[in-house]
Structure 1
């Protein structure tokens, strides 16, 4: 593993620890907020006044920053799978702090996360060197990626507008599906922003390219959508 990949690896692991912990802290905050107003699962936003929820949010932001920097140093194929380690952290903390018992299938799932992440990390390729955000843009406007993006947006809208109002309260796959699909676009756009920042720090200012701002806006939009729909299943289902 190269030094840059190793740096990305360490940052990604730290990111998973912070993000995994933030889920537990935020759920505790949501539980406290639901005692004094509408629950997040039915569209309530009282948790915004709950300090503990903000502690969890700050913890998540720290984790996301570490994750963001990891994308600058290492390829997405290495960083993204390590995000699964946040599941392990959440499962362990939920077991002890939220008293949510981890079943045998849950243990198997955690084991598979560890094995899968390890295999991918050990075989992660070196990242292709890029000299401009315009090169990323050329890759992003390829027909195959545009088709995937259009499909992801269409499925997300279907889940948000049709499935969430009808089945969101009874099927966790609705909200997790929204977060996961949007998350795939978040990874791509964040990686692009990370490369743009890295190139800028190296002396090739990317702020003058409109593509960098497009990637930044996509990143912010996707992150906001994920944060909104991530809160909802916390108040409907157990963490594990």
Structure 2
């Protein structure tokens, strides 16, 4: 167990480094694209033709793959908090590459990220062994969790359909809120897919289970939505 958790820990840290770097590279690409057309924050998609943005996107994909594999080896409660390290990487790189000076409140925020992540990682519980995606599905269809999912979807729809068009350009918390609430579902579905892949490699084919594909569709939908609003955050 310790060995698996250590592998997951290392992969999560590497993932944070790549993802944190990708935000800076993509922002430079978004700025360059915005100088020649509609900005992403205004609904423009000209950045899709900007090579620098794709370099950042590739860097993020590498980081997300490392993060995905980390979920296979370690519990979500261990991997997810380490994602906060990407904030510190982005803050440091932004200071040097984008001339965005890190103020005292920003430094305090980075410190709190480190302290919070460390506390959660040190007290991460052992993960219950699961033998199939069906077991995850049973847990995911419990009334309490379904109520949570319904609440997340409702909040996300309000933010996307009502708040974003009206306040998104002036309040960065709208886009951050969308990415955050949807991200909770991303973690759950990615963890399920990771377990499915691990079990399949061990000889228990999970690709034939409809639940595996449902989790995959949820993860894909959540990731695409988060990427769209993260691009909007980057240019505010």
- Deviation of residue 121 (structure 1)? 1.1
CA separation in 2, counterparts of 1:25 and 1:205? Answer: 38
Q: Which SS does the other structure have where 1:36 is aligned?
A: coil
CA separation in 1, counterparts of 2:118 and 2:160? Answer: 34
CA separation in 2, counterparts of 1:4 and 1:124? Answer: 14
CA separation in 2, counterparts of 1:79 and 1:144? Answer: 23
CA separation in 1, counterparts of 2:112 and 2:35? Answer: 37
CA separation in 2, counterparts of 1:204 and 1:110? Answer: 42
How do 1:153-168 and structure 2 match up within 5 A?
A: 153-168=153-168
The equivalent residue for 2:144 is 144
The unaligned stretches of length 5 or more in structure 1 are none
- Deviation of residue 18 (structure 1)? 0.2
CA separation in 1, counterparts of 2:6 and 2:79? Answer: 10
The equivalent residue for 1:190 is 190
CA deviations on 1:75-129 (whole Å, 9 max, x unpaired) are 0000000000000000000001000010101101101111111111111122111
CA separation in 2, counterparts of 1:113 and 1:39? Answer: 30
Which TM-score applies when normalising by structure 2? 0.99
CA separation in 2, counterparts of 1:132 and 1:59? Answer: 32
CA separation in 2, counterparts of 1:123 and 1:234? Answer: 33
CA separation in 1, counterparts of 2:121 and 2:7? Answer: 13
Q: Which SS does the other structure have where 1:10 is aligned?
A: helix
CA deviations on 1:152-183 (whole Å, 9 max, x unpaired) are 00000000000000000110110000000110
CA separation in 2, counterparts of 1:120 and 1:6? Answer: 15
- The answer on 1:93 being equivalent to 2:93 is yes
The equivalent residue for 2:133 is 133
- The answer on 1:83 being equivalent to 2:80 is no
CA separation in 1, counterparts of 2:146 and 2:88? Answer: 33
The equivalent residue for 1:32 is 32
Q: How many residues align?
A: 236
The unaligned stretches of length 5 or more in structure 2 are none
Which TM-score applies when normalising by structure 1? 0.97
CA separation in 2, counterparts of 1:140 and 1:104? Answer: 41
The equivalent residue for 1:225 is 225
How do 1:163-178 and structure 2 match up within 5 A?
A: 163-178=163-178
